[in-house]
Amino acid sequence: MMRIPRPTTSLVSRIPAVKPTSSILRKGYASSSSHTLSPASVVTTLPNKIRVATEAVPGHFHAVGVYVDAGSRFESQRTSGISHLLDRLAFKSTNKHSDEEMTRLIDSLGSQVTCSSSRETIMYQSTVFPESLPLALELISSTIRHPLLLPEEILAQKEAASYEIREIWNKPELILPEIFHTIAFQNNTLGMPLLCPESQLPRLGEQEVRGFMSDWYRPERIVVAGIGMPHEELVQLSQRFFGDIPATSTSTSTSTSSTLHTSSQQQQPLGSKSFATVSNVTAPSDYNDLVDAKAVYTGGEYYIEKPEDQLVHLHIGFEGLGIHDPDIYALATLQTLLGGGGSFSAGGPGKGMYTRLYTKVLNQHYSVDYCAGFHHCYADSGLFGIAASVYPQFAPRIVDVMAGQLHALTGQMFGGIEQKEFMRAKNMLKSTLVMALESKLTAVEDLGRQVQIHGHKVPVEEMCAKIDELTLEDLWRTANRVLRPASSSSRLNYGLGSGKATIVAQGPNLKALGDVKRTLKDRWGLGL
């Protein structure tokens, strides 16, 4: 399942690291290490460096997932789109099961088994009854470790991906956040497209997929996480299905796919469009170039003139904070405070109707169809800003409206943040975090991603405590760090970013927007 970014905030799975409360050596794994993270969370490191994490949440079913530290940020121009293709190829034929057998076994579990890719992880997840846990993990292990990647399966998934790509490109609410990333981080890491470029489909085949997996599916980059089962049970199952993966040697040379079967390259394409694979004899490795590559925020502008569109869509944003930045809670609170959404929302209190973008924009300007704050947070950078969709007659005014709302976050002023809305935003953010973890599938993803990023789980109570500690001064200072980097005493995220705004727009008569960058900088003092 493809994951397209949405303009929401997520601190779950993305919270600053804290030290574990204690550590113990678990019996039976002399070469392994374990940490008791909280009364309910435990992590064990297998001898080959795969980490196994569990959280003791009672219930009638378990959630389990395998999380690989891979994704589109680890792709190069040569391998762009591999992650998208990989998640479509999951749970097909393996050395143990045919495609039909895999489908039948998944159906027998009584629940879904899914794979999804994002910029920083590829995850395989399932919710199962306790007695089905071994089968679920065996199927996940089989598709990760022993996929056959048959020619007909690859070509069928290319056809499906091509249709998916075209559909998403026709939906501004889905594709513009993607384009926004590619403009914000041009030609590097987080700017590599999550959605496979259609021009890449003929270039990707079995050798490229196996080469990518050889590079990034290394045991030290894999976390097995579970919710509900005894810790020792998941450790034993992980040892059984993943424990024989050889530990990565420090002297491991760059991988090639010269030993892979190449017969699949002779397959004829499906349908009228040619997706015949153009593949090298060997697939060179990008690991050494990308494993430590830091995100470099560039900023920039991109305009898509579409006279047939009924609305003008505009995204304005700036470089946000990496997950380890201590101000990440303040930035998430700012996004919650902005809130917003569509011009029509059924329901009453609790749906964010008192957020700033509802009260100050949607309720004030009938020509605004959609307006919401967004916050994308990654390991070493992020994006923060506002997205809006308006009727064309309002296009000349929307830039000032959006910029004014961002400016109001930066200090004490008329129309700025009030204490009551500040407290409301903190409570909304805390409730969002706590209620999200009521879902076991969300909870297991949170556990797996936290262990992947930090090496341990940060309790939600600690996250809420850090949110409670925030002051208005913290929000003002953080807003200035992000929106006015020229006046900040320290540059964001290693000082690599340009500090410029990122602007992406689509719709009719975009000239009506005026010079967006100049308006932001000269009139509102936003960006460099």
Q: Which of 455, 327, 326, 467 is nearest to 20 (CA)?
A: 455
Distances (CA, A) of 238 to 128, 225, 518: 16, 10, 55
Q: State whether 347 and 236 are in the same domain.
A: no
- 233/88 same-domain check: yes
In our burial notation (b when 16+ CB lie closer than 10 A, e otherwise), range 25-48 reads ebeebeebebbbbbeebbbbbbeb
* Amino acid 12: pLDDT: 53
Choice among 22-36, 109-123, 140-154, 404-418 with the minimum mean pLDDT: 22-36
- pLDDT for the residue numbered 31: 36
CB 457 within 8 A of CB 450: yes
Residues 321 and 459 in one domain: yes
- Domain shared by 72 and 173, yes or no: yes
Do residues 233 and 314 share a domain? no
- Please check whether residue 490 lies inside any domain of the structure: yes
Residue that finishes a domain, picked among 243, 258, 283: 243
Average pLDDT, the chain: 87
Query: What confidence score (pLDDT) does residue 492 get?
Result: 87
Determine the average pLDDT of the residues in 409-418. Answer: 96
- Assess whether 501 and 370 both reside in one domain: yes
Question: Is 83 part of a structural domain of the chain?
Answer: yes
Residues 102 and 227 in one domain: yes
The DSSP line for 25-78 is PPTT-TT-EEEEEETTEEEEE-TTS-EEEEE---SSSEEEEEEES-SGGG--TT
Q: Looking at the structure, do residues 232 and 339 belong to the same domain, yes or no? A: no
For the cut 70, the answer to whether the pLDDT of residue 352 exceeds it is yes
Domains: count for the chain? 2
Contacts of 309 (CB under 8 A, 6+ apart): 172, 506, 507, 508
- Per-residue pLDDT at 293: 96
What strands, in cross-sheet order, belong to the sheet with 51-55? Answer: 22-24, 33-38, 41-45, 51-55, 222-227, 62-68, 122-128, 113-117
State how far the Cα of 372 lies from the Cα of 357, in Å rounded to an integer: 6
| Residue 15 in domain | no
Q: Which residue has the tokens 């219930």?
A: 59
Which CATH number is 155's domain given?
A: 3.30.830.10
325 lies in some domain: yes
User: Both ends of the chain: CA-CA distance in Å?
Assistant: 38
> Over the stretch 147-185, which tens digit does the pLDDT of each residue have?
999 999 999 999 999 999 999 999 999 999 999 999 999
| Same-domain pairing of 203 and 340 | no
Q: pTM for this one?
A: 0.88
Residue 303 pLDDT: 98
Span 267-279, pLDDT tens digits = 333 333 545 444 4
Task: Supply the pLDDT for residue 248.
Answer: 87
pLDDT tens-digit map of 260-315: 333 333 333 333 354 544 444 466 899 999 999 999 999 999 999 999 999 999 99
Encoded amino acid at 360, one letter = K
280 located within any domain: no
Q: Are residues 63 and 176 in the same domain?
A: yes
**18 part of a folded domain:** no
- Which tokens hold the place of 176? 């513009």
What integer pLDDT is reported at residue 1 of this predicted model?
Answer: 47
- Domain contains 281: no
Q: What residues make up the domain containing 211?
A: 39-243
Q: Of the candidates 206, 228, 243, which is a domain's last residue?
A: 243
Same domain, 378 and 239: no
Among 223, 243, 263, the domain boundary falls at 243
pLDDT surpassing 50 at residue 523: yes
> Is 266 inside a domain boundary?
no
Considering only CA atoms, which of 318, 424, 429 is closest in space to residue 376? Answer: 318
- Which pLDDT band holds residue 3 (cuts at 50, 70, 90)? very low
Token pair in block for residue 182 = 């590619």
Same domain, 354 and 422: yes
* pLDDT for residue 28: 33
The 10 Å CB-count burial string (b at 16+, else e) for 441-464 is bbbbbbbbbbbbbbbbbbbbeebb
